[in-house]
Amino acid sequence: MRLFRKNTNKIKVMALGGLNEIGKNMTVIEYKDEIIVIDAGMSFPDDEMLGVDVVIPDISYLIKNKDKIKGIFITHGHEDHIGALPYILKKINIPIYGAKLSIGLIQVKLKEHKINNAKLNVVSPRDIIKLSHMEVEFIKNNHSIPDACSIAVHTDQGIIYHTGDFKIDLTPIDGEVMDIHRICELSKKGVLLLLAESTNAEQPGSTMSEKTVGAGLDDLFRKASNSRIIVATFASNIHRLQQIINTAEKFNRKVAVSGRSMVNVVAVATELGYLNIPDNMLIDLNDISKYEDNEVVLITTGSQGEPMSALARMASAEHKKVEIKRGDLIIISAHPIPGNEKLISKVINSLFEKGAEVVYDESDIHVSGHAKQEELKLMHRLVRPKFFMPAHGEYRMLKIHAELAEELGMPSQNIFVNKTGDVLEIDRNSAKVTGTIPTGNVLV
Could you tell me the smallest distance in angstroms from the CB atom of residue 392 to Zn ion? 6
Could you tell me the smallest distance in angstroms from the CB atom of residue 76 to Zn ion? 6
What are residue 432's DSSP bridge partners?
425
Could you tell me the smallest distance in angstroms from the CB atom of residue 222 to Zn ion? 31
What is d(CA 195, CA 392) in angstroms, rounded to the nearest whole number? 9
Query: Whose Cβ is closer to Zn ion: residue 261's or residue 414's?
Result: 261
Could you tell me the smallest distance in angstroms from the CB atom of residue 196 to Zn ion? 12
Query: Whose Cβ is closer to Zn ion: residue 79's or residue 328's?
Result: 79
Residue 343: CB atoms within 10 Å: 18
> What DSSP element (H or E) covers 15?
strand 11-17
Confirm if 142 and 169 have CB atoms less than 8 A apart.
yes
Confirm if 174 and 237 have CB atoms less than 8 A apart.
no
Residue 384: CB atoms within 10 Å: 16
Could you tell me the smallest distance in angstroms from the CB atom of residue 72 to Zn ion? 15
Which window, 46-54, 72-80, 179-187, 270-278, contacts Zn ion (CB under 5 A)?
72-80
Residue 370 binds Zn ion, judged by CB under 5 A: no
Query: Whose Cβ is closer to Zn ion: residue 165's or residue 328's?
Result: 165
Query: Whose Cβ is closer to Zn ion: residue 78's or residue 401's?
Result: 78
Contacts of 378 (CB under 8 A, 6+ apart): 168
Query: Whose Cβ is closer to Zn ion: residue 58's or residue 80's?
Result: 80
Q: What is the CA radius of gyration of the chain?
A: 23
Could you tell me the smallest distance in angstroms from the CB atom of residue 393 to Zn ion? 10
Confirm if 299 and 241 have CB atoms less than 8 A apart.
yes
Backbone angles phi, psi at 390, to 5 degrees: -60, 140
Could you tell me the smallest distance in angstroms from the CB atom of residue 39 to Zn ion? 8
What is d(CA 173, CA 159) in angstroms, rounded to the nearest whole number? 30
Each residue 375-414 as x (binds Zn ion by CB under 5 A) or -, in order, gives: ----------------------------------------
Which window, 75-83, 215-223, 239-247, 373-381, contacts Zn ion (CB under 5 A)?
75-83
Could you tell me the smallest distance in angstroms from the CB atom of residue 209 to Zn ion? 17
Query: Whose Cβ is closer to Zn ion: residue 158's or residue 393's?
Result: 393
Distances (CA, A) of 418 to 13, 62, 71, 393: 10, 19, 24, 11
Helix, strand, or coil (residue 345):
helix
Backbone angles phi, psi at 286, to 5 degrees: -65, -20
What is d(CA 427, CA 52) in angstroms, rounded to the nearest whole number? 41
The candidate with the shortest Cα–Cα distance to 247, out of 266, 226, 229, 271, is 229
Could you tell me the smallest distance in angstroms from the CB atom of residue 186 to Zn ion? 22
Helix locations, 44-178, DSSP H: 60-64, 79-82, 85-91, 100-112
Number of residues that bind Zn ion (CB under 5 A): 3
Q: What is the DSSP letter of 200?
A: T
Could you tell me the smallest distance in angstroms from the CB atom of residue 63 to Zn ion? 24
Confirm if 371 and 379 have CB atoms less than 8 A apart.
yes
Query: Whose Cβ is closer to Zn ion: residue 147's or residue 165's?
Result: 165
Query: Whose Cβ is closer to Zn ion: residue 253's or residue 372's?
Result: 372
Which window, 73-81, 182-190, 235-243, 254-262, contacts Zn ion (CB under 5 A)?
73-81
E-strand ranges in 183-334 read 191-197, 229-232, 254-258, 296-300, 329-332
Restricting to residues 86-115, which ones interact with Zn ion according to CB under 5 A?
none
Query: Whose Cβ is closer to Zn ion: residue 23's or residue 214's?
Result: 23
Could you tell me the smallest distance in angstroms from the CB atom of residue 44 to Zn ion? 13
Which window, 77-85, 209-217, 287-295, 330-338, contacts Zn ion (CB under 5 A)?
77-85
Q: What is the DSSP letter of 372?
A: -
Each residue 153-172 as x (binds Zn ion by CB under 5 A) or -, in order, gives: ------------x-------
| Angle at CA of residue 22, ends 263 and 73, nearest 5° | 70
What is d(CA 107, CA 129) in angstroms, rounded to the nearest whole number? 21
Which window, 74-82, 96-104, 175-183, 393-401, contacts Zn ion (CB under 5 A)?
74-82
For Zn ion, which residue of 30, 80, 422, 425 counts as binding (CB under 5 A)? 80
Query: Whose Cβ is closer to Zn ion: residue 23's or residue 385's?
Result: 23
Which window, 71-79, 218-226, 374-382, 419-427, contacts Zn ion (CB under 5 A)?
71-79
> What does the chain come to in residues?
444
For Zn ion, which residue of 10, 24, 78, 380 counts as binding (CB under 5 A)? 78
Residues contributing to the site for Zn ion (CB under 5 A): 78, 80, 165
